[in-house]
């Protein structure tokens, strides 16, 4: 089905569009197989911040332009001493900020993998909450071959998904895996023919959108907290506070203070 994606904001390296309550971020650098440079990550971070604040957006799709690549990782043309060189000449690894944003946003992020997901491109796939791939997709890490590695979520969360032995194989050997292999090992959720990729992904989005947003939010937080340590607990706890603020019990405390009276917490039930 042909959908009319409405542009949200114009950028240089990405497309940022919306269809109903679904946002789509497309890395639009097909000439380099959608490799990212600091500018690309800066723009994706800006789009993610928009999605976080927009109450009419409930789920985000991350994909690449064309039918060759989802993302081929860091743009080797701008790799310099200390990182990927931005337009001011500063070396950056700001893709790590994007990883944090994907994990932190309290809405599901789905990787729609339409071709190669290699190096930092596969890390992006791994970091997303869910991954749906076309049957032409290929997955792999290249770090130890091209002078790089991701010892962050690209290792730890990958190992949670595929197991320690497989994660070590993926990183030590730097092989490529087919979409079917990636699905079997738990690196992605589903494989579909390329011409079904967007339909399938939008169907998953619509199912998620029909579910309770607070329940989805809390489950994402809980699943993250297990790996994310104190930061994960902080985000989980922040949402527990949000839920408490929504209760009459919390409002009674604030109202009593403003009305200069003692709070009446007796009225609230003590659950077993």
Residue numbers in the known binding site for substrate are 72-76, 84, 116-120, 142, 148, 245, 260
Cβ 179 vs Cβ 134: under 8 Å: yes
Site map 133..152 versus ligand S0N, x via CB under 6 A: ---------x---x-x-x-x
Q: Does residue 74 bind ligand S0N (CB under 6 A)?
A: yes
| C-beta neighbour count of 190 within 10 angstroms | 14
Site map 92..121 versus ligand S0N, x via CB under 6 A: -x-xx-------------------x-xxx-
| Cβ neighbours of residue 71 closer than 8 Å, sequence gap 6 or more | 27, 33, 34, 35, 36, 64, 116, 117, 118, 120, 121, 124, 125
Identify the H or E element spanning 42.
Answer: helix 38-53
Q: Does residue 64 bind ligand S0N (CB under 6 A)?
A: no
Q: Which of 9, 77, 173, 211 binds ligand S0N (CB under 6 A)?
A: 77
| C-beta neighbour count of 2 within 10 angstroms | 5
Binding piece for ligand S0N, criterion CB under 6 A, among 19-27, 44-52, 54-62, 74-82: 74-82
Closest distance of CB 44 from ligand S0N, Å: 12
Binding piece for ligand S0N, criterion CB under 6 A, among 58-66, 73-81, 194-202, 263-271: 73-81
**Based on CB atoms, which residue is closest to ligand S0N, 32 or 194?**
32
Q: Does residue 154 bind ligand S0N (CB under 6 A)?
A: yes
**Based on CB atoms, which residue is closest to ligand S0N, 148 or 178?**
148
Tokens 């579909």 locate to 192
In DSSP terms, which residues pair with 50 in a beta bridge? none
Closest distance of CB 14 from ligand S0N, Å: 16
Q: 3-state SS string over 176-212?
A: CEEHHHHHHCCCCCEEECHHHHHHHHHHHHHHHHCCC
Closest distance of CB 118 from ligand S0N, Å: 4
In DSSP terms, which residues pair with 71 in a beta bridge? 117
Strands (E), 46-187: 59-64, 69-71, 79-80, 83-85, 91-92, 109-113, 116-118, 130-134, 138-140, 177-178
Q: Does residue 38 bind ligand S0N (CB under 6 A)?
A: no
Cβ 75 vs Cβ 84: under 8 Å: yes
Query: What is the binding site for ligand S0N (CB under 6 A)?
Result: 32-33, 35, 72-77, 93, 95-96, 116, 118-120, 123, 142, 146, 148, 150, 152, 154
């Amino acid at each position: 089905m042909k959908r009319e994606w409405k542009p949200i904001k114009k950028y240089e390296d990405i497309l940022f569009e919306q269809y109903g309550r679904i946002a789509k971020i497309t890395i639009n650098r097909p000439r380099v197989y959608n490799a990212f440079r600091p500018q690309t990550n800066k723009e994706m971070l800006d789009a993610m911040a928009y999605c976080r604040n927009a109450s009419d957006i409930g789920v985000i799709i991350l994909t690449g332009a064309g039918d060759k690549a989802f993302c081929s990782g860091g743009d080797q043309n701008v790799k310099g001493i200390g990182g990927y060189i931005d337009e001011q000449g500063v070396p950056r690894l700001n893709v790590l900020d994007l990883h944090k944003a994907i994990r932190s946003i309290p809405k599901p992020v789905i990787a729609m993998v339409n071709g190669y997901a290699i190096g930092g491109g596969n890390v992006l796939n791994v970091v997303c909450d869910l991954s749906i791939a076309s049957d032409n997709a290929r997955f792999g890490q290249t770090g130890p071959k091209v002078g790089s590695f991701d010892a962050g979520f690209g290792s730890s969360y990958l190992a949670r998904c595929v197991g320690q032995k497989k994660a070590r194989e993926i990183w030590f050997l730097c092989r490529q895996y087919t979409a079917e292999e990636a699905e079997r090992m738990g690196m992605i959720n589903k494989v579909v023919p390329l011409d079904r990729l967007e339909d399938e992904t939008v169907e998953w989005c619509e199912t998620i959108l029909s579910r309770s947003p607070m329940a989805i939010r809390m489950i994402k937080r809980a699943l993250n907290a297990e790996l994310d340590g104190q930061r994960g607990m902080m985000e989980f706890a922040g949402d527990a506070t949000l839920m408490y603020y929504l209760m009459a019990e919390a409002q009674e405390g604030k109202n009593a203070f403003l009305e200069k009276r003692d709070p009446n917490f007796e009225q609230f039930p003590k659950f077993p």
